[in-house]
Amino acid sequence: MPDRDGACVIALDVGGTGMKGALLNRQLHSLYSLRSPTHRDAGPETVVAHIASALETLAKQAAAMGFSVLRACVVVPGIVDEDRARAVYSGNIGWRDLPLGDILEQRMGIPVTLGHDVRAGGNAERVLGAARGARDVLFVPIGTGVSAAVISDGRPVRGGGFVGELGHIVVDPDGAACVCGGRGCVETVATAAAIAAAFTVRSGRSVEGADEVAALVAQGDSHALTVWARAVEALVTAFTIASTLLAPELIVVGGGLAAAGDLLLDPIRARLAGCLTFQRRPRLVRAKLGDQAGCLGAGLLAWEAEIGETGIPYGAEEPLS
């Protein structure tokens, strides 16, 4: 086994609008970090070029600091086949069946692991965050979309990259068209953008985001309460189905909408308790790692791929800068 002293891995979390990268040591402490735009509007080839550029910047910084890079891990949105290191599909970025792991590995000259951003974030929450110690977990980031990481018996479930599309459970067959091609999916009701849009239509007052709607809910605004209740009901339906099929002991809610805290979680808890009968009753908690989860999860994947083991007690407590 190579000497780990003076070694690090590169972790890169690629989102629809921005990328978060870091050099992480064996304890997952950040040695150096960067943020840069994804440039998705310029097309998928440009996104790939910017991913490679970010990796190269991090590798050069590691060399300048005297660290050797053992491996890189890049986590991306959409459908990701980790076993084949392929970005199968992303509506946000526009690629299809792209051998992204191989492309980056050839350019970098070091091993590159490809992962899914939400599965990586969910695993980070399990090892380091709000789900530490739990073995059966559903991690649900709610923001521009609604996705889920399924962790069963302590391990992320992949299903060829298709597991976790919670946002595309249909809650209203006659509802609005969804970007996936269906109608009335959770994402048409319970994302931050959907909540803001529904409030604007219902009230005739324009708002910039769901945080403004949440503030109006706290003030008792009738339009905001109606829109919020509809979003809660959609999430409860999805969580009821997930609880029946997967029996999570814990549901960790993250993403931008989780900033509403108990204003969101309390009504979900109450309604979910009324919907479940014989099923295992999960606890609902707010995510702990925030927007660091994906990058930390990429670091976990990189070290686990390099060392060949999982469930390592990393003990990383300090947030990435």
Looking at the fold, whether 157 and 248 belong to one and the same domain comes out as yes
Would you say residue 2 lies in a domain? no
Burial class (CB in 10 A: 0-12, 13-18, 19+), 106: exposed
Q: Quote the CA–CA distance of 317 and 304 in Å, as a whole number.
A: 18
Has residue 5 got a pLDDT over 80? Answer: no
**pLDDT confidence of residue 309:** 57
Amino acid at 252: V
Instruction: For residues 63 and 197, state if they share a domain.
Output: no
Q: Tell me: do 146 and 264 sit in the same domain.
A: yes
Clarify whether residues 161 and 272 are in a common domain: yes
**Domain identity same for 161 and 193:** yes
Where is average pLDDT lowest: 19-23, 60-64, 178-182? Answer: 178-182
Average pLDDT over residues 217-225: 96
Q: Which CATH number characterizes residue 248's domain?
A: 3.30.420.40
User: Are 61 and 164 in a shared domain?
Assistant: no
- Give the whole-angstrom CA distance, residue 125 versus residue 121: 6
Based on the domain organization, do 55 and 102 belong to the same domain? yes
Q: Are residues 173 and 96 part of one domain? A: no
Residue 1 maps to a domain: no
Residue 316 lies in a domain: no
Torsion of CA 265, 220, 201, 92, to 10 degrees: -20
Residue 248 sits in the same domain as residue 299: no
The whole domain housing 167 covers 134-286
Query: What are the backbone dihedrals phi and psi of residue 98, each rounded to the nearest 5 degrees, phi first?
Result: -95, 125
3-state helix, strand, coil in the chain (%, to 5): 45, 25, 35
3-state SS of 140-154 is EEECCCECCEEEECC
Query: Where on the phi/psi map is residue 313: left (φ > 0), alpha (ψ -120 to 50), or beta?
Result: beta
Is there a single domain that holds both residue 150 and residue 90?
A: no
- Number of structural domains (the chain) is 2
Q: Are 117 and 294 in contact (CB under 8 A)?
A: yes
319 within a domain of the structure (yes/no): no
Same domain flag for 174 and 248 = yes
Q: Which residue has the higher pLDDT, 155 or 138?
A: 138
Helix (H, G, I), strand (E, B) or coil at 186: coil
Residue 320 located in a structural domain: no
Q: What angle do CA 125, 130, 136 make, to 5 degrees?
A: 70
CA nearest 268: which of 256, 253, 255, 278? 253
User: Exposed/middle/buried for 74, CB within 10 Å: 0-12, 13-18, 19+?
Assistant: buried
Question: Would residue 275 count as lying in a domain?
Answer: yes
Task: Answer whether residue 320 shows pLDDT above 90.
Answer: no
Q: What is the pLDDT of residue 316?
A: 44
Taking the whole predicted model, whether its pTM rises above 0.75 is answered as: yes
Asked if 85 contacts 102 with a C-beta cutoff of 8 angstroms, the reply is: yes
The answer on pLDDT for 312 being more than 70 is no
Is residue 219 one of the residues assigned to a domain? yes
Residues 78 and 168 in one domain: no
- Asked if residue 252 belongs to a domain, the reply is yes
